[in-house]
A and B are shown apart, each in its own frame.
Chain A
């Protein structure tokens, strides 16, 4: 439970931090996303009910800070980010046994893929509302770029969070011992 509370705190800090991170102009102005990496770590390290709670919190925060209310219309309505986080986190949670056995690389790759999948879903929703679908090089980079960054960040973030989990005596550690 301590780890869960800490992850909630990290999600808030990371979400605020994302506002101040400059975009990567060498990657077609793509943004850096840290929150998905934290949520997807939580998906592996927490029991399913807490995974849903973490996804709800992160999605709610993301929606609240980025949803557009223009001319009396809400572009992507509240709740979609929660759903996206929950579905992707549930998939990650399903592969939890691998993580417990110490096979982190699968989840690092999945974190990158899931981050890009979220952006792709957002882009498709926006396109559905605005019309005229197109996939230019810029679009692909803005979807794929943050995924690559998340993939590269994941080992470090996972290692830091895993160390914190150890300090806070997270309940999945004895589970890992059973596998050994």
Chain B
């Protein structure tokens, strides 16, 4: 081995050692920095991808009409999401007023965002969105659509953020079952063999006996996800040695997401 190679190897080991010492914050900062650096290319790529898809589907429309249509669709979805959130809050307020006389909860503040890219890895279920710190987004904020829960933000840079989807094994959501007192933890699967993943609802009691079609909502426990967001519907229920486990179909079509809303707080 030549002297240059030995020096290169030593430098390589030093760099590797430096990266291995990275903690959570350093990792987040570096990741946010790289995403920020690449965000113009990712956004352009996303636009190109949409254009190619549009051409491929053979649909030609006037540019102005398309723009208006897109704006109206976003507005419509925003209103539907707000409406859904209002209904959720109304339901909860009524319940609390009648039962416990808790203080009223206000509606969510929603920041609309577009999906820029989808996961580029076999093992992680993530998407990036075109909103970041500049729009008031922070880490661990819930991401929803009018249909239900999408996931939560993880790494956030100035104008692009990483969203961990509810279908990822690492995204754990405390949940309860519609019409029962059953509670459990929803998480995704480690390996997904199809474009439409299912979710697992673990740690149910053995007496749960869930029926297909029953709705699963966030319970609000844990502090990240507010209560009463729809997660999915029960497909199957099975008993295990110590608990019951249900398989859920996600409420949101995660494979075809285009517009989402980040819950930045309550109004």
* B and A form one assembly: yes
Over the window 160-173 of chain B, the binary record of Cβ atoms lying under 8 Å from chain A Cβ atoms (1 yes, 0 no) is: 00001000111100
A29-B194, A123-B123 given; A20·B117 CB < 8 A? yes
Q: How many A residues have CB within 8 A of the partner chain?
A: 55
Question: Known contacts being A19-B118, A52-B12, is A130 close to B49, with CB within 8 Å?
Answer: no
* Beta-carbon contact of A19 and B120 below 8 Å: yes
In the bound complex, CA of A41 to CA of B33 (Å): 28
Q: B15 contacts the other chain (Cβ, under 8 Å)? A: yes
- With A31-B120, A56-B12, A56-B15: A69-B28 Cβ-Cβ less than 8 Å: yes
From residue B84, how far is it (CB to closest CB) to chain A in Å? 26
Would you list 15 pairs from A and B whose C-beta atoms are within 8 A, ordered by A residue? A16-B41, A19-B45, A19-B117, A20-B46, A48-B1, A48-B5, A66-B121, A69-B155, A77-B20, A78-B20, A79-B16, A79-B20, A126-B123, A130-B190, A143-B122
Q: A19-B45, A25-B194, A130-B169 are in contact. Are A68 and B154 (CB under 8 A)?
A: yes
Interface string of B20-32 (1 = CB under 8 A from A): 1011101110110
Cα-based distance from A15 to B48 in the complex (angstroms):
16
Contact A142 B30 (CB under 8 A): no
Report the minimal beta-carbon distance from A172 to chain B, rounded to whole angstroms. Answer: 15
Q: Which of A16-69 contact B (CB under 8 A)?
A: 16-21, 23, 25, 28-31, 47-49, 52-53, 56, 60-61, 63-69
A165 to chain B, nearest CB (A): 21
**B20–A70 touching, CB < 8 Å:** no
Q: Given the interface contacts A67-B27, A130-B169, A137-B193, does A31 sit within 8 Å of B122 by beta carbon?
A: yes
Interface of A is mostly: helix
Q: A17-B45, A79-B20, A138-B191 are in contact. List 6 more A-B contacts (CB 8 A).
A: A19-B45, A19-B120, A49-B5, A64-B34, A64-B35, A82-B16
Taking CB atoms, residues of chain B closer than 8 Å to A83 are 16
B124 within 8 A of partner (CB): yes
Taking CB atoms, residues of chain A closer than 8 Å to B46 are 20
Contacts of B48 in A (CB 8 A): 20
Inter-subunit contact B124/A28 (CB<8 Å) = no
Interface residue ranges of A73-90 to B (CB < 8 Å): 73-75, 77-79, 82-83, 86
Partner of B122, one of A15, A74, A146: A146
B236-260 contacts to A (CB < 8 Å) = none
**Nearest B-chain residue to A81, judged by Cβ:** B19
Residue pair B195, A138 in contact (C-beta under 8 Å): no
- Nearest-neighbour CB distance to chain B for A103, whole angstroms, equals 23
Contact assessment for B8 and A52 in the assembled complex, using a CB-CB cutoff below 8 Å: yes
Query: Chain A residue with minimal CB distance to B38?
Result: A16
Total A-B residue contacts, Cβ distance less than 8 Å:
139
B-chain residues with CB within 8 Å of residue A63 when the two chains form the complex: 19
Q: Find out whether the CB atom of B4 lies under 8 angstroms from the CB atom of A49.
A: yes
Residue A119 is within 8 A (CB to CB) of chain B in the complex: yes
Interface residue B233 (Cβ < 8 Å from any Cβ of A): no
Say yes or no: A19-B195 contact (C-beta < 8 A), given A61-B34, A70-B171, A77-B22: no
The answer to whether B118 touches A142, judged by C-beta atoms less than 8 angstroms apart, is no
Distance from B199 Cβ to chain A, minimum over Cβ atoms (Å): 16
B192:A70 contact, CB within 8 angstroms: no
Task: Decide: A68 near B170, CB < 8 A? Known: A19-B45, A79-B16, A82-B16.
Answer: yes
In the bound complex, residues from chain B placing their C-beta under 8 Å from that of A78 are 19-20, 22, 26-27, 30
Tell me the smallest distance from the CB of B54 to a CB of chain A, in Å: 14
A157 at the interface (CB under 8 A from B): no
B204 to chain A, nearest CB (A): 18
Contact A72 B24 (CB under 8 A): yes
Q: Which residue of B has the minimal Cβ distance to A132?
A: B190
Q: Is the CB of B19 within 8 A of A82?
A: yes
- Residue A170 CB within 8 A of the other chain: no
Set B2, B12, B30, B42: member contacting A64, Cβ < 8 A? B30
Q: Give the distance in Å from the alpha carbon of A86 to the alpha carbon of B49 in the complex.
A: 32
